[in-house]
Structure 1
Amino acid sequence: MVPVDLLAHLRRARDTADRHFAEPLDLAALARAAGVSKYHFLRCFAAEYGETPMQYVTRRRIERAADLLRATNLTVTEVCTLVGYSSLGTFSRRFRELVGTTPTAYQQTQAGARIPGCFVFMLGLDSAIPEKQPRRTDAYGRSLTEEEQL
């Protein structure tokens, strides 16, 4: 059982993973977002959410990749890079493990109109992924840092 006072900290770390899924994330960075040691964070996160923090990040990346493959005409390699993978082989293996098919086969089975990839790159990743949180700014329009948003 996870202490109730730790739940808000775990949610903060999970929100950090959701916002920054395409960036390099590791256990230490997520534990810092939660404000606890990485080993305590690992145990509590797994107990509360049923998966380790890195399994969660991987799942979220693959979910976003599936969204992009379904809704855009980007190549698998472009999607791989956009969701934070540097290795196409690792991305394809993880995608197949979680979705049950290769990224290319998944994209070929999706019918419907697709957003041109040039719009995705021009407008940024935020508009291509529906669940992405909007950028927060201060009164002068400057982007807030993660600490300022909390």
Structure 2
Amino acid sequence: MNLEDLARLRRARDLMDRNYAEPLDVTALAQVALMSAGHFSRSFRAAYGETPYSYLMTRRIERAKALLRRGDQSVTEVCFAVGCTSLGSFSARFTELVGESPSAYRARDHGADAALPACVSKVHTRPVRNGPHAG
């Protein structure tokens, strides 16, 4: 893969990082990368080791974890705040990546996480892909 393609893929990835709560689909992301949807999906996976959808869902779950740790929103409110449109799909993906349901995660004490610097906390609380839909 050439540097120009990597730069275009990075623009699409940066868009997902910034606008994770917006309705983003492969076609729109491919347009940002100036590629066809199929070529974009294959190239993204080759460059980043996961599909664009998987990457976007990881960003959404990462943000959902932060909102759930605050504890001032319901699981349903958090689901919609991070751009998911189905509570069932959100809960299933959250459980797959985090290892516990959003409700259980929200109810757990997160006091130890609050003492960590933000840069360490981000690494410590990052969702890890380990289920059957990994990648």
TM-score normalised by structure 1 residue count:
0.71
- Alignment of 1:79 with 2:78, yes or no, is yes
CA distance in 2, matches of 1:35, 1:77: 35
Residue 66 of structure 1 corresponds to 65
Asked if the contact 2:71–2:106 (Cα under 8 Å) also holds between the matched residues in 1, the reply is no
Query: How far is the alpha carbon of 1:3 from its aligned partner?
Result: 1.6
Unaligned runs of 5+ in 2: 112-121, 123-135
Q: Which consecutive residues of structure 1, in runs of 5 or more, have no partner in the other structure? A: 113-130, 132-150
Deviation at 1:4, TM superposition (A): 1.7
Moved over 3 A (4+): none
For 1:6, the aligned partner's letter is: D
Deviations 1:118-144 (A, max 9, x none): xxxxxxxxxxxxx9xxxxxxxxxxxxx
Q: d(CA) in 2 for partners of 1:94 and 1:103?
A: 10
How far off is 1:111 after superposition? Answer: 3.1
Deviation at 1:77, TM superposition (A): 0.7
| Number of positions where the alignment pairs a residue of Structure 1 with one of Structure 2 | 112
Alignment TM-score, normalising by the size of structure 2: 0.79
Aligned-pair Cα RMSD in Å: 1.3
Look up the match of 2:40. Answer: 41
Mapped to 1, the partners of 2:48 and 2:3 lie a distance apart of 14
Q: State the identity as a percent.
A: 55
Give the SS at the match of 1:30.
helix
Greater gyration radius: 1
